[in-house]
Structure 1
Amino acid sequence: MDFKKLFFPIGGGEELRERIHAALLINKYFGSHLSIIACQLDPETVYNTRMTLRGGIMLDEFLRTAKEELAEEQSLNEKIVKEECKKLGITYSEDQHTKNSAFLRNMLGTRSELVEKHSKYCDLVVAAVPPHGVITGTFEASVVKSGKPAIAFPRKMTEFKTDRILLSLTGSTSSARALHNALPIIKNAKEVFCITSQHYLQDGMDETKGRILNYLDIHGINPNFEVVKTEGKVPGQALLKAADKYEVDMIVAGIDTNTGIREIFLGGASKYFLENTKYPVMM
């Protein structure tokens, strides 16, 4: 698939510059246009216009200060995006037809609602993993509810490449969809490592392995294949252990749309995976 437009919501938390830089790295890899949105609540919608704050401070004075702080935050976001674009040789432009470009839009409203709405009109969503691995409404809205392929990346990432890919296959619909979405990238990888677990072997190891390798072969993909042990491990731990073992650049895995990101791989990604991953994962 030719990814022409990427979508990146700036979520909350620290590492603002690092997250923006990482999203731009992914955009540069694809040579696409990155649509970035930053969402804040409008102070006037949060507070009753007739209320008076404690200490006799009138609402209009408070709103004036809040709006000034909002303008400063929006200005800082734009400044950082422009600076990081310049570092990476990316054009800062609203023209989505400009290749290798990015543009930031500041929006007022509930972040998760805006993200869910705007993320549906792109080719690929890129989102930083939530802080401390705790799934946020923004993360789930962009990665799960957009209906688009997504790359979740570590909050600090200094390089994005796809030379070595770990492919997680579980026989699920979401796993098959992730494989389909990532095929163009996997085909260009130098090495591919395919893993599954005993739990997902439908007709025995040889039959399952043969079926997987037969399909990948028609696309010119010849992966290393392993059945990993998941017994006694924290959900998501087997995936990260395999990624470390093979020293991969990216993971490809499916998500269960019924349970969301919580069921990314081998019984659940859980907080452990999101908190500890050093690798971008395409879903």
Structure 2
Amino acid sequence: MNFRTILVHLDRSGRSPVRAALAARWARAHESHLTGLIPTGLYDGIIPADAIATGMTDYIAESADYLRRRAEAIAREFRQDIAASGPLSYEVQLVDGVTEDAVVRYGHASDLVVVGQSDESARRDTTVHGLAEHVLMEVGRPVLVVPSAGEFSGVPKNIVVAWDGSREAAVALHASLPALRGVRVTLLSLRHPRDGDDAQRLLTHDMIQFLLRHGVQARAESEVTEIGIADALLSRVSDLGADLLVMGAYSHSRLRERILGGVTRQILAQMTVPVLMAH
């Protein structure tokens, strides 16, 4: 298995070039084909108030033309950045559909989908709030979420894999295998004191052997924490100097996570390194 096709969502936000550069580095490292997906925003219903001159008789046509020109400008910048950074198999797709639906639809034809963390400060134009959460639940592919702050200069070399024995954790672990080979990998299990040590569920030794048979050398680490699992996970990622976190998403229903404040939501809100998730 490999990331033969990587899809990256591009938009007008200031983080879009960072996301595109990261996706391009992953594509080169894995000899992938990169698709830059640019939803125009035509059906998102978000057009800057000052984008269309007052007095226009055909506002809909002028809006569509503005959005198309803006998308083409994003595409030009993407192409220029690719050309400046070296050879790469890539394409650009401009689509008029609703952004969430477009990313999911094109994501079905990809091995990895790259999106950005929601950023309230950049919530304008075609920037879509909650895109990562929607794509995670619907696309059926691993999703690489890029933080709304920070620079990420290369492909990850020090990866933490969150392991709790769940279906979602197993899916994420398997989906991340191409990224785990030849790098430092820590299989991290966290629990609260009241949870007990469920070695039968974790099968840590078996998971390490599974990874070894896939050419991945990993070390296992198990910790008991008094704080929230998400906080403990982010803290350990920082302590280890990791540059990628791999984890399953929404082990409980998304409704339950919203009510209880789940680990997935907290990671998506507070992440400081890219996170590869799968549901």
2:159 maps to 1:165: yes
8 A Cα contact 1:140 1:260, kept in partner: no
Once the two structures are TM-superposed, the CA of residue 205 in structure 1 deviates from its matched residue by 8.9
2:100 maps to 1:112: yes
Which string of whole-angstrom CA distances, capped at 9 and with x for unpartnered residues, describes residues 191-223 of structure 1? Answer: 221211125766349984434434444445443
| Aligned counterpart, 2:174 | 180
| Aligned counterpart, 1:123 | 111
Secondary structure of 1:236's partner?
A: helix
| Aligned counterpart, 1:8 | 8
Decide whether aligned partners of structure 1 residues 244 and 24 sit closer, same or farther in structure 2, where only a CA change above 3 A counts.
same
The match for 1:228 among 223, 228, 253 is 223
| 1:84 alignment partner AA | D
8 A Cα contact 1:262 1:270, kept in partner: no
8 A Cα contact 1:125 1:143, kept in partner: no
Q: TM-score, normalised by structure 2?
A: 0.78
8 A Cα contact 1:125 1:148, kept in partner: yes
Which string of whole-angstrom CA distances, capped at 9 and with x for unpartnered residues, describes residues 36-66 of structure 1? Answer: 21113438x96xxxxxxxxx94641x33532
8 A Cα contact 1:165 1:193, kept in partner: yes
Decide whether aligned partners of structure 1 residues 109 and 124 sit closer, same or farther in structure 2, where only a CA change above 3 A counts.
same
Decide whether aligned partners of structure 1 residues 42 and 217 sit closer, same or farther in structure 2, where only a CA change above 3 A counts.
closer
Matches within 5 A, 1:134-153: 136-153=129-146
Q: Which runs of 5+ in 1 are unaligned?
A: 47-55, 91-99
| 1:86 alignment partner AA | A
Distance in 1 separating the partners of 2:21 and 2:7: 14
Which string of whole-angstrom CA distances, capped at 9 and with x for unpartnered residues, describes residues 216-264 of structure 1? Answer: 444454433322344233x52222211111112222111136535996x
Distance in 1 separating the partners of 2:18 and 2:211: 35
| 1:112 alignment partner AA | E
RMSD over aligned CA atoms reads: 3.3
More moved, 130-139 vs 70-79: 130-139
Once the two structures are TM-superposed, the CA of residue 282 in structure 1 deviates from its matched residue by 1.8
Secondary structure of 2:233's partner?
A: helix
| Aligned counterpart, 2:84 | 87
2:240 maps to 1:246: yes
Decide whether aligned partners of structure 1 residues 209 and 186 sit closer, same or farther in structure 2, where only a CA change above 3 A counts.
same
Distance in 2 separating the partners of 1:168 and 1:102: 32
| 1:224 alignment partner AA | R
| 1:213 alignment partner AA | I
Aligned-pair identity in percent equals 21
Distance in 1 separating the partners of 2:62 and 2:91: 27
| 2:177 alignment partner AA | L
Once the two structures are TM-superposed, the CA of residue 121 in structure 1 deviates from its matched residue by 1.3
More moved, 68-77 vs 127-136: 127-136
Which of these two proteins has the greater Rg computed from alpha carbons? 1
Secondary structure of 1:80's partner?
A: helix
Decide whether aligned partners of structure 1 residues 217 and 236 sit closer, same or farther in structure 2, where only a CA change above 3 A counts.
same
Distance in 1 separating the partners of 2:20 and 2:204: 39
Distance in 2 separating the partners of 1:182 and 1:173: 14
Distance in 1 separating the partners of 2:227 and 2:191: 13
Secondary structure of 1:256's partner?
A: coil
Secondary structure of 2:67's partner?
A: helix
More moved, 8-17 vs 161-170: 8-17
Once the two structures are TM-superposed, the CA of residue 183 in structure 1 deviates from its matched residue by 2.4
Distance in 1 separating the partners of 2:22 and 2:178: 21
| 1:106 alignment partner AA | L
| 1:250 alignment partner AA | L
8 A Cα contact 1:39 1:110, kept in partner: yes
